[in-house]
Structure 1
Amino acid sequence: MDKFKIVTPCHFGVESVLKREITDLGYDIVQVEDGRVTFEGDALAVCRANVFLRTAERVMIQVGRVKATTYDQLFEAVKALDWQKFIPVDGKFWVKKAGTVKSKLFSPSDIQRIVKKAIVEKLKMEYHESWFAEDGAEYPIRVFFYKDEAIIALDTSGESLHKRGYRKNTSKAPISETLAAALIMLTPWNKDRILVDPFCGCGTFPIEAAMIAANIAPGMNREFTAENWTNFIDKKLWYKAVNEAYDIMNEDVDTDIQGYDIDPEMVEFARKNAQLAGVDHLIHFQARPVSKLSHSKKYGFIITNPPYGERLEEKKALVPLYTEIGKRYKALDSWSAFIITSYEDAEKDMGIKATKNRKIYNGMIKTYFYQFMGPKPPKKGKVNEK
């Protein structure tokens, strides 16, 4: 079976998590760049990556990596690629998106036009056709230029992988499913530890945590564009990937995951979303303000996305809010807290210095993932020495 270079974009700052996911699937990493991890795999790897990866935004097959500082160079370089290996004579193909950073070719629309024209010319030569109906399966193409070098890739996913299919009810500023999963996986939390999100909104953090605990593959209940690429990805491989996902799922896992929000409507949204994700039995949702945050057990985790106060009038409410978060966290014996926010005075208002923080881009917003590490629980069966 042919091997491909498979490109998986992700949020800036979580590349290490995606790299670990790909390695755990059994594939060799080719390259790690800002916001992107490339690995080598066959057609089954394309299917498994789409079904299993929690932190990738999409899965793409690299057709080529070319250098170009003029549109003529771009045209010739794209035309030289082996498009006939991927796009059949009836395939519908277009450049869905072109991005360019620090490159001489800076017009996305011109890049899209030139790349499409070059592919048409190549396929004319290969198929001995002068015109293409493009009435078959869809083959969307993405182009990423950085410092005059472009990755030309076929998008196998279609809709972004953050669209798991369960989030029908959303809050004003929800965190994406892929970013929520990545942030959880950046912490030491596991299914045997308590997890509380006191600002759960539509439930993304608790739901993603429950899916991780139950080993539910995020893409097992959605469709992908490349399912129709039967010219080089056998339909049976998609069934194989999904069957693998069903085999390893454990919906009866014992776990303690809780989501609170001050808004009862948000709590109801979260419950409905959890039902759609098939994990509502693993999560306890409750309408509760952060001032009522407490827990009798030790060594738990807070993982949350509190309000950022992006508008000026909202910022006034942040000082008492983050002061309260700090107060409630300090009252929790031996807990750890992980908070993503763009609010730069979070540590000051909480009255606690973070163990460390990591810069993360939540969409276009620069945020910080503050990590307040509590003590590790004693190992089971360990007896204290006198």
Structure 2
Amino acid sequence: MAQHIRLIATAAMGLESVVATEVKQLGYEVQVDNGKVIFDAPISAIPRCNLWLRTADRIKLVVGEFRATTFDELFEGTKALPWEDYISEEGQFPVAGKSVKSTLYSVPDCQKIVKKAIAERLKRKYGMASKMPETGSLYKVEVSILKDTALLTIDTSGVGLHKRGYRVGQGEAPLKETMAAALLLLTNWRADYPLIDPFCGSGTIPIEAALIGQNIAPGFNREFASEDWGLIRSSYWDDAFQEAEDLANYDQKLEIIGSDIDHKMVQIADSNSKEAGLGELITWKQMQVSDLTIRQDNGYIIGNPPYGQRIGDQEAVQKIYQQLGAVMKNHPSWSVYILTAYEAFEKFYGQKATKKRKLFNGFIKTDYYQYFGKKTGERR
């Protein structure tokens, strides 16, 4: 097969530019589309992107793309693609699918046709008379049909990239690790600035901040579906993990605090940080926002507070926002970044945001309120 392949890094709505920046930093040229970042790269990019991309949901390998308005066109177009270049003789290849604004709208039928076409191609190439054994490595195929154009991909990640491997506990509505990383990357926080999350919950934002601060690859503590694929040399994985080890800055000092009013969540956050190997880097405290004490200049508040979506919670949420605004009013050198779906946040915080950015936290439409601090003196 060709030494270069086409990859897609999928992204949550509103985070495409953040994912694109990360891919560029790995050295690849990108095209940005709705919900995805497309780029051509060598095969060695599969391990590197899975290990390093903090805000992407998955890395998909593009097998081919073609127009299909009939089931025959879908079958023949799929069968014409070089599946044997990717899927091993014993490989498992379940097919998922979706169809948007297309003539072929029955997703189950499209899945069956793609599955049959791949099987026929592989049987012919591998010289098999009976059906494929599918006892080996996993190659999760997706057929995505948009406006009568079929895109065939294989998922290289396995479990979504937000699953870092450190979460041993969580609350009712945990913030995805990829979203937490995006909230951090959308600021100009750096490792030599103090950072506080006063609504830490299970600790996702402080933990992701520590990973970023010490330049630790977010995928260092997990496995990927493509690790045992024949098309990726084991040396590519070895090199990617070695690169991650070489670039990590374990000596970087950090001043990161996570606090929450719920002592159980603080305990969970502490357990999660220890599972990530970051137990000594983050300070966890049980306290309410009004007790927040700030002693340095030029720091950052980055948080995902309660949204007050249930009517009975709104007064409590308004009070939290007021308390935060009252505390931060006395610290103009600090930057404040708050993600919430509560539309009257600025009113209760007591100040209009310098900038707002629309983001989706899962399926919840939110705003990322950004208050830029007036820095004093030099960095510590």
TM-score bucket (shorter structure): over 0.9
C-alpha displacement of 1:352: 1.1
- Corresponding residue for residue 215 of structure 1: 215
C-alpha displacement of 1:311: 2.4
C-alpha displacement of 1:380: 5.9
AA in 2 matched with 1:12: M
- Corresponding residue for residue 256 of structure 1: 255
- Corresponding residue for residue 13 of structure 2: 12
AA in 1 matched with 2:256: I
Confirm or deny: 8 A CA contact 1:294 1:332 kept in the other structure: no
**Secondary structure of 2:189 counterpart:** coil
Confirm or deny: 8 A CA contact 2:166 2:221 kept in the other structure: no
AA in 1 matched with 2:12: H
- Corresponding residue for residue 166 of structure 1: 166
Confirm or deny: 8 A CA contact 1:7 1:36 kept in the other structure: yes
Deviation track 1:283-332 (CA, whole Å, cap 9, x = no partner) reads: 11100101112302111111000001232322343222222222222222
AA in 2 matched with 1:69: T
- Corresponding residue for residue 51 of structure 1: 51
Q: Percent identity?
A: 46
Confirm or deny: 8 A CA contact 1:12 1:361 kept in the other structure: yes
Superposed, which structure 2 residues align to 1:56-135 within 5 Å? Answer: 56-95=56-95, 97-130=96-129, 131-135=131-135
Superposed, which structure 2 residues align to 1:256-335 within 5 Å? Answer: 256-335=255-334
AA in 2 matched with 1:62: V
AA in 1 matched with 2:375: K
C-alpha displacement of 1:377: 4.0
Distance across 2 between alignment mates of 1:378 and 1:79? 64
Structure 2 unaligned runs (5+)? none
> Structure 1 residues 114 and 260, CA, compared in 2 at 3 Å: closer, same or farther?
same
Distance across 1 between alignment mates of 2:172 and 2:260? 13
AA in 1 matched with 2:292: L
**Secondary structure of 2:32 counterpart:** strand
Confirm or deny: 8 A CA contact 2:64 2:151 kept in the other structure: yes
Distance across 2 between alignment mates of 1:208 and 1:198? 15
> Structure 1 residues 69 and 327, CA, compared in 2 at 3 Å: closer, same or farther?
farther
- Corresponding residue for residue 384 of structure 1: none
TM-score (norm 1): 0.94
Confirm or deny: 8 A CA contact 2:334 2:375 kept in the other structure: no
Deviates more, 1:363-372 or 1:200-209: 363-372
C-alpha displacement of 1:105: 2.8
**Secondary structure of 1:242 counterpart:** helix
Confirm or deny: 8 A CA contact 1:255 1:282 kept in the other structure: yes
Distance across 2 between alignment mates of 1:106 and 1:315? 42
AA in 2 matched with 1:291: S
Deviation track 1:163-185 (CA, whole Å, cap 9, x = no partner) reads: 10001110111110011001100
AA in 2 matched with 1:7: I
- Corresponding residue for residue 367 of structure 1: 366
Distance across 2 between alignment mates of 1:351 and 1:175? 25
Q: Does 1:205 align with 2:196?
A: no
Structure 1 unaligned runs (5+)? 382-386
- Corresponding residue for residue 336 of structure 2: 337
C-alpha displacement of 1:162: 0.5
- Corresponding residue for residue 26 of structure 1: 27
Confirm or deny: 8 A CA contact 2:164 2:222 kept in the other structure: yes
- Corresponding residue for residue 235 of structure 1: 234
**Secondary structure of 2:356 counterpart:** strand
C-alpha displacement of 1:101: 2.7
Distance across 2 between alignment mates of 1:343 and 1:60? 35
**Secondary structure of 1:138 counterpart:** coil
> Structure 1 residues 307 and 153, CA, compared in 2 at 3 Å: closer, same or farther?
same
Distance across 2 between alignment mates of 1:236 and 1:190? 33
C-alpha displacement of 1:281: 1.3
